[in-house]
C-alpha cells in the first residue's frame, strides 16, 4: 500500500487533472482514490485505510458551501475530527489524517498538500499498533 492515500471528492478531481496538465506531478508515494463526496469518508474508512498499511490519509473536498450534496463538507470535517480523536485515544499521531478543500482550479494547493502529507508520512513512519507488527 502507498504511504499516503488521498481520498478525493469527484467534484475536486478537476484540480488533479489541471495539475497534470500544467506539468505538476503527484508524489509517487500518494495513491489517489476518487470518492463521490468527502462527506462519505467516515472515521471507519480512515482507520481501516491506516490499518491496511497507509501511513497517512489526505481527504480532499470541494470548497465549503460548494458541495453538490449540500452538507458534505461539514460532514467531512466532523468525520475527520472524530478520526483524529480516535487516533489520539489509540496513542497515534492525529496528524496522520488531514482534510483540505480545493476548487478545481486550485491545483497547486492540492499538489502542495500531497507533498506535505508525503513528508508527514515519512516523518511519522509506519503504524505499529497490533501485537506482532514490525
Cell 497547486 sits at which residue?
Answer: 108
DSSP-derived 3-state class of residue 55: coil
> Domain spans of the chain?
4-124
Q: Do you know the residue count of the chain?
A: 134
Q: What is the pTM of this model?
A: 0.92
CATH of 4-124, one of 3.40.50.960, 3.90.850.10, 3.40.50.880, 3.30.1360.170: 3.40.50.960
Which tens digit of pLDDT belongs to each residue from 42-92?
999 999 999 999 999 999 998 877 777 777 788 999 999 999 999 999 999
3-state secondary structure 33-67: EEECCHHHCCHHHHHHHHHCCCCEEEEEECCCCCC
Mean pLDDT, rounded, for 21-43: 93
DSSP-derived 3-state class of residue 17: helix
Amino acid at each position: 500500500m502507498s504511504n499516503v492515500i488521498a481520498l478525493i471528492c469527484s467534484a475536486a478531481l478537476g484540480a488533479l487533472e489541471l495539475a497534470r496538465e500544467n506539468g505538476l506531478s503527484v508524489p509517487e508515494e500518494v495513491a489517489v482514490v476518487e470518492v463521490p463526496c468527502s462527506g462519505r469518508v467516515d472515521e471507519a474508512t480512515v482507520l481501516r485505510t491506516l490499518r491496511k498499511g497507509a501511513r497517512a490519509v489526505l481527504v480532499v473536498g470541494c470548497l465549503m458551501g460548494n458541495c453538490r450534496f449540500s452538507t458534505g463538507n461539514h460532514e467531512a470535517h466532523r468525520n475527520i475530527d472524530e478520526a483524529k480523536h480516535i487516533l489520539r485515544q489509540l496513542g497515534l499521531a492525529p496528524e496522520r489524517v488531514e482534510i483540505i478543500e480545493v476548487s478545481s482550479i486550485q491545483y497547486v494547493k492540492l499538489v502542495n498538500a500531497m507533498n506535505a502529507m508525503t513528508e508527514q508520512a515519512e516523518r511519522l513512519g509506519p503504524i505499529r499498533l497490533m501485537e506482532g507488527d514490525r
